[in-house]
Amino acid sequence: MSSETLPAFIESSNVERKQSLSEEQEKSQKPRVGEGFEAMSKRQMKKLIKQKQWEEQRELRKQKRKEKRKRKQLERQCQLESNSDGNDRKRIRRDVVHSTLRLIIDCSFDSLMVLKDIKKLHKQIQRCYAENRRALHPVQFYLTSHGGQLKKNMDENDKGWINWKDIHIKPEHFSEFIKKEDLIYLTSDSPNVLKELDESKAYVIGGLVDHNHQKGLTYKQASDHGIDHAQLPLGNFVKMNSRKVLAVNHVFEIILEYLETRDWQEAFFTILPQRKGAVPTDKACESSSHDKKSASVEGGLDNESSDEEDSRNELDSQHEEEKQDKENSNESAVNSTPH
């Protein structure tokens, strides 16, 4: 090969080498048969079904909240008009009918919680106190077994609690000063479903924030003390994405709402946070039957996944509406000065 043709030969060889390399890269980047086109997993399918249910009920939840706000606004307006004495600056409190129902938060689980959970319980108690103070039918509010970490945290961060009104804060256990036959422990583990509220009774809410670490503890507490127990009729009216265990303040507020409306479904949908993905049981059944037909084409549903997994897989799209709930609840922050 002559020296004149050598550079041209080298150049063409380099071009061919680059072309072969680019072809190999393209081949390696192309998905093989079956790669990248895997069928949707059961978990993904379940999330899509939940998202669909949650989206379908968005307007219903908004409407419920809107109706409640309008109703309370109308009540305040009527109260002002009927009691107005010409002084617009004077704030007239609406008529309040105190309920004889006793509602107890049992704080005897103090040693089972870390400080972070104690602080959460403190905030939930604050919310209960604020809601009871503004309720149309406030209950006889008791805070029992008050001491330990909870009392220390309240002393340090909310010194005004000693001036709280319309609340009985006691260091003793509730069983020491309330008759056993008057007590009903509210626990989601109870096989008994509550149908009506007996205002002559004392209902106990377990003051426990444990993120599902201590299962069945409130039910055991009721059994150990030999007192009656029951769960709220949540399953009769509502289907949720997560477990039926509710925060202390949610149970408290649902009872206050029920005393006002005498309607369990309205109470649940007014109070339950949107992250729970609550839908009416009748509509949930219709949606479930429709979704099962669709899911059977894609490989079916994973009916055996745990409730804890459901809780971890809550939808990110619910956060925006949850922020709105938090903004609406800011007014419930408890004042450290006496009311």
Determine, yes or no, domain membership for 178: yes
- Determine, yes or no, domain membership for 251: yes
Please give the angle made by the CA atoms of 243, 194 and 95, to the nearest 5 degrees: 105
Q: How many residues does the chain have?
A: 339
Q: Which two tokens stand for residue 71?
A: 């109703």
User: Which segments in the chain show pLDDT lower than 70?
Assistant: 1-38, 79-94, 211-212, 240-244, 274-339
237, 281 contact by CB (below 8 A): yes
Q: Is residue 248, in this structure, part of any structural domain at all? A: yes
Place of tokens 């007590």: 183
Residue 300 zone, left/alpha/beta (φ > 0; ψ -120 to 50; rest): left
Structure token digits, residue 146: 């008050």
What's the structural domain count of the chain? 1
Point out the catalytic residue in the list 182, 210, 228, 307: 210
Q: At a CB cut-off of 8 Å and minimum separation 6, what does 193 contact? A: 230, 231, 233, 235, 236
> What pLDDT is stored for residue 333 in this prediction?
43
Confidence at residue 167, expressed as pLDDT on a 0 to 100 scale: 96
- The pLDDT of residue 11: 57
- The reply to whether the predicted model has a pTM over 0.75 is no
What pLDDT score does 157 carry?
92
60: in domain:
no
Can you tell me the distance from the alpha carbon of 267 to that of 258, in angstroms, rounded to the nearest whole number? Answer: 5
Torsion of CA 179, 180, 186, 190, to 10 degrees: -170
Give the domain extent around 236: 102-276
Say what the pLDDT of residue 131 is.
95
Residue 88 covered by a domain: no
Q: Are 137 and 267 in contact (CB under 8 A)?
A: no
Specify if 175 maps to a domain. Answer: yes
Instruction: Give a yes or no: residue 325 inside a domain.
Output: no
CB 318 within 8 A of CB 274: yes
E strand or H helix that includes residue 103:
strand 102-106
Q: Evaluate whether 218 touches 228 at the Cβ level (below 8 Å).
A: no
| Strand duo 279-280 + 238-239: pairing | antiparallel
Told to judge if 263 belongs to the known catalytic residues of this protein, a careful annotator would answer no
pLDDT score recorded for residue 214: 72
**CATH number of the domain within which 163 lies:** 3.40.1280.30
Q: Is residue 312 part of a domain?
A: no
Letter for the amino acid at 34?
G
What's the pLDDT score for residue 46? 84
Residue 50: the pLDDT is 81
- Whole-Å CA distances, 213 to 111, 112, 114, 277: 14, 10, 12, 22
* pLDDT, position 61: 82
- pLDDT tens-digit series, residues 79-113: 666 655 544 444 445 578 999 999 999 999 999 99
**Burial (CB count within 10 angstroms: exposed 0-12, middle 13-18, buried 19+), residue 321:** middle
